Amino acid sequence: MHLRVLSQLAIIATAMACVHITLPTAKELESNDSIISIGMSESPHALAERNLQARCGRGFGRCSNDACCSTAGYCGKTKAHCRSPDCQIDFGHCDAHTTPGGHLTDGIPRPKLGKVPYGPKVIRSCARPGNIALTFDDGPNKYTEDLLRLLDRYNAKVTFFITGNNNAKGPIDTPGMPWASMIERMHRSGHQIASHTWSHQDLNKITPEQRRIQILWNEVALRNILGGFPTYMRPPYSSCAAKSGCLKDMGKLGYHVILYDIDTEDYRHDSPNAIQGSKDIFDKNLARGKSSSKSWLVIAHDVHEQTVYNLTEHMLKKSDMEGYKIVTVGTCLGDPEENWYRIDESSERPILRKDRVISRDGRCGGEVTCLGSKFGSCCSKKNYCGNSLKHCGPGCQPKVGRCQRARRPPTVPDHGSEKRPTRSDAGTVLQPGLCIVGLVLFSATALSIWAH
Ligand SMILES: [Zn+2]
């Protein structure tokens, strides 16, 4: 256990040295560590103590047979070894190697619409008095469905900062897993969906290209679910500084960088007795002002049991008592909903399109789209839906359907477009081209651990 604790402290210490845009704490590291409960049989430490496993990492090398290298430096294939962001990606396979299918989002235009600033500017607070924006990071997770039920009961609209593939949950767009329908439900219920990167790496410690990949892969997965992807993001560990170039990169990719002004510290209080600590933090902050003049941007994590089954209802009730309205981050900043996402016009998922009606009779044009229609997803020159060259080729109308077009050569490997991960192999698909990218991705974190 000491090795693990030391490793975590090393990551935290390194983060503290690098981050200057926010309070450097271990909050999300801890939150990520506590998401999946690990039985003794799965613990890399327990196994290590019994000396059953090969060593890996700096000074030992790579695991054989595509095994994963745990934070503590032991090879294995359990969730505890392979889950991101802890797994050592330069010394074996990791969950983060499993990537979403479909074409990349890098060809989609990214105009900076609206009045809310984009990166490199950082946003820490809401703009509208009387608003509270509750935000939930690191999910979806096994508790998220219950949180959605609770929020519906209170008719409260919140913001979810989604991580695409962390904590051994597999890619969020994996068929047969519950994550995609949860994310759809979030949108249906009026919540805002924002990005928390693909596999929760520290964005200050990776290269600009790796940062780009962390953003793009999450975009691809969210596009596969919603037909578009967010313009709002929160960096994992709140770690994205001007010095590393991260904030500028987020701006180039067209993102608002969102932090917070109330940290509930729910990651530190995830037990029935301790959660009062988070309630106290929330209440004390609210006591600092009145709803007539104040607003708040609050961070919590839907991956914690006490957050979902205890803290959130307290925050909802207390906010109401004090005269606040619970709204999304976009709303509390005064940004209209059409600016929260970028639509992928080629996507067949019409979930985010509020301005389009899906064709029910095979006709298309105007506000009626073929995307999602049983007649086919391309709208022909003569306003008919279909999938043939006549519909998708010359004359095809891209605003109301899919059209055949020359594919841009991908700037990162076009992984997984042929082979989608299935439920059973979601955690173990290894694609060599990506491996190289992924390997580099984790190297900074791994090196920082071993350097301490
Ligand atoms: Zn996080």
Q: What pTM does this model have?
A: 0.72
Residue 83 Cα to ligand 1 midpoint, Å, equals 14
Asked if the domains 54-97 and 355-405 are classified in one and the same CATH topology, the answer is yes
Per-residue pLDDT at 355:
67
Q: Rounded to the nearest whole angstrom, what is the distance from the C-alpha of residue 96 to the centroid of ligand 1?
A: 15
pLDDT at 450: 45
Q: What's the pLDDT at 405?
A: 61
Q: What is the CATH number of domain 355-405?
A: 3.30.60
pLDDT score, position 203: 95
Question: Residue 423's pLDDT is what?
Answer: 32
Place of tokens 């999910």: 139
Separation of CA 236 and ligand 1 centre (Å) = 5
Q: How far is the CA of 210 from the centre of ligand 1 (A)?
A: 18
Residues tagged active-site: 137, 301
Give the residue from 18, 4, 158, 15 showing the smallest Cα distance to 80: 4
CATH 3.20.20.150 fits 54-97, yes or no: no
Q: What is the pLDDT of residue 415?
A: 33
Q: Compute the distance from residue 353 Cα to the ligand 1 centre, in Å.
A: 28
Q: Which CATH number applies to 122-339?
A: 3.20.20.370
Instruction: Quote the pLDDT of residue 58.
Output: 86
**CB contact at 8 A, 215 and 338:** no
| Residue 406 alpha carbon to ligand 1 centre in Å | 37
**Domain edges within the chain:** 54-97, 122-339, 355-405
Angle at 288 between CA 283 and CA 291, to 5 degrees: 85
With tokens 């839907």, the residue in question is: 302
The confidence score (pLDDT) of residue 439 equals 43
pLDDT of residue 437: 42
Distance 393 CA to ligand 1 centre (A): 43
**Residue 316 C-alpha from the chain's centroid:** 24
Residues of the chain with pLDDT under 70: 1-52, 355, 405-452
